[in-house]
Structure 1
């Protein structure tokens, strides 16, 4: 009696393969949506940040991950750190990876061949400017 039931279950296994595919289809679709909405944009931001940090040069105003504002006074290509002046006569060495943003970066040249500064830069001297 048990053997006949086992054969009956084996015969029904072939149509069950399509059930397995349809049960994994929602998981695959969720992963695809997750990829395009979460992973891909994050990779793009990381790539842009790496390019920004690699392009940091002497004279750039930067913000570190700790929130310290300063100006790069020494940056050698190929080195992993830069020297940042955070106050008059106060210089610290900071890892390039600890640079969060470059404040005075320039955009590609516009009409007339002049470099255009990034939006949001103020040219006026304020009370908080050092």
Structure 2
């Protein structure tokens, strides 16, 4: 009985000895897939966001990640914006947290 089981196990444990080129081609394919599906679109979004951030000037109406809508009152060299939410409230916001520049007159229409 034991010899039958050991023969069955031995017959199923054959290893596949494929070409080493197939492994290299598969790794290359997955690398290209990863680049075109994940890395490249992320790099494009980061480049667009950086251009958006550098185009902000005093008086622009902006939207932040937190949902605040305000007008840029002051742009500092250290990477922060002083945003006026209304006539009495001003908030200091880091440059990276700006989501979009809104069209002029958006705050008044809200």
The residue aligned with 2:31 is 31
Q: How many residues align structurally?
A: 93
Unaligned runs of 5+ in 2: 1-16
Distance 1:35 1:24 in 2: 16
Q: Give per-residue Cα distances to partners, 1:25-74, cap 9 Å, x unaligned.
A: 11211210221122111101101101111221101111111111111011
Distance 2:28 2:63 in 1: 40
Q: Give per-residue Cα distances to partners, 1:84-126, cap 9 Å, x unaligned.
A: 011221001000111111113xxxxxxxxxxxxxxxx887x64
1:84 alignment partner, SS class? strand
The residue aligned with 1:83 is 82
Q: Which has the higher contact order (CA 8 A, sep 6+)?
A: 2
- Root-mean-square deviation (Å): 2.2
After superposition, residues 102-121 of structure 1 pair within 5 angstroms as 102-104=101-103
User: Where do 4+ consecutive residues of structure 1 move more than 3 Å?
Assistant: none
After superposition, residues 16-95 of structure 1 pair within 5 angstroms as 19-76=19-76, 78-95=77-94
TM-score (norm 2): 0.73
TM-score (norm 1): 0.63
